Amino acid sequence: MAVKELKINGAIRAREVRLIEEDGDQKVISIAEALDLASQNGKDLVEVAPQANPPVCKLMDYGKYKFEQDKRLKESKKKQKLVKLKEIRMQPKIEKHDLEFKTKHVTEFLEEGNKVKVTIRFRGRELAHTELGRDVLMKVIDILTENGVNFVMDKKPLMEGRFMFMILSPKK
């Protein structure tokens, strides 16, 4: 009987392989014997380390292996928590009640575990008095600390075009 050779892209790679059986036993055998052993056991011969000398192959049920791998991947994705960025927009001349109402929404978002971007929009001549916007953002922080909300300021108040914003995230 002729010895079968392991070919990849038409090039002869090896005449024998290191076979790892299901119980963990290892032995170096010819490729023909490994293929015969796999067909007798109803398993697949899977090459796990082609760069080794001789290449390493394993006897396994490849369909079952792929199914379990996909199942583990889905389980790990279930445990991930996506953090969303919510935005609250205000103006520098906001009334006290409106400020408290919007700050209540910021509190809810932070308690849900989301990041919050608090934005002050300046229109027209309001751009000349950006300190009013900074004061509003500081009032939001004061209200949150008075209510005992645990948060971290990711970005301090920052001007970007006609907007001043800060980003808050929940404290872990």
In a domain, 53, yes or no: yes
Looking at residue 109, what DSSP letter applies? H
Quote the pLDDT of residue 5: 42
Angle at 7 between CA 6 and CA 8, to 5 degrees: 125
- CATH number for 164: 3.30.110.10
* 122, 92 contact by CB (below 8 A): yes
Query: Are residues 54 and 116 both part of a single domain?
Result: no
Quote the pLDDT of residue 10: 41
Query: Are residues 52 and 23 both part of a single domain?
Result: yes
Quote the pLDDT of residue 81: 76
Reported pTM:
0.56
Quote the pLDDT of residue 165: 94
Residue span of the structural domain in which 40 resides: 6-65
Quote the pLDDT of residue 138: 93
In a domain, 73, yes or no: no
Query: Are residues 92 and 160 both part of a single domain?
Result: yes
Query: Are residues 99 and 139 both part of a single domain?
Result: yes
Quote the pLDDT of residue 13: 62
Query: Are residues 11 and 56 both part of a single domain?
Result: yes
How far apart, in whole angstroms, are the C-alpha atoms of residue 50 and residue 122?
63
In a domain, 76, yes or no: no
Quote the pLDDT of residue 50: 84
Query: Are residues 96 and 49 both part of a single domain?
Result: no
How far apart, in whole angstroms, are the C-alpha atoms of residue 153 and residue 155?
6
Query: Are residues 118 and 155 both part of a single domain?
Result: yes
* pLDDT tens for the 172 residues of the chain, in order: 233 344 444 444 678 889 988 888 888 998 888 888 888 888 888 888 888 888 999 888 888 989 999 999 998 888 777 778 999 999 999 999 999 999 999 999 999 889 999 999 999 898 898 999 999 999 999 999 998 888 899 999 989 999 999 999 998 7
| Residue 143: alpha-carbon gap to chain centroid | 33
How far apart, in whole angstroms, are the C-alpha atoms of residue 89 and residue 3?
75
Last residue of a domain, one of 32, 65, 98: 65
Query: Are residues 55 and 95 both part of a single domain?
Result: no
Indicate the number of domains in the chain: 2
Quote the pLDDT of residue 2: 34
Cite the DSSP H helix spans in the chain. Answer: 31-41, 62-78, 96-112, 130-146
SS3 (DSSP) at 24: coil
Last residue of a domain, one of 14, 30, 65: 65
How far apart, in whole angstroms, are the C-alpha atoms of residue 82 and residue 116?
14
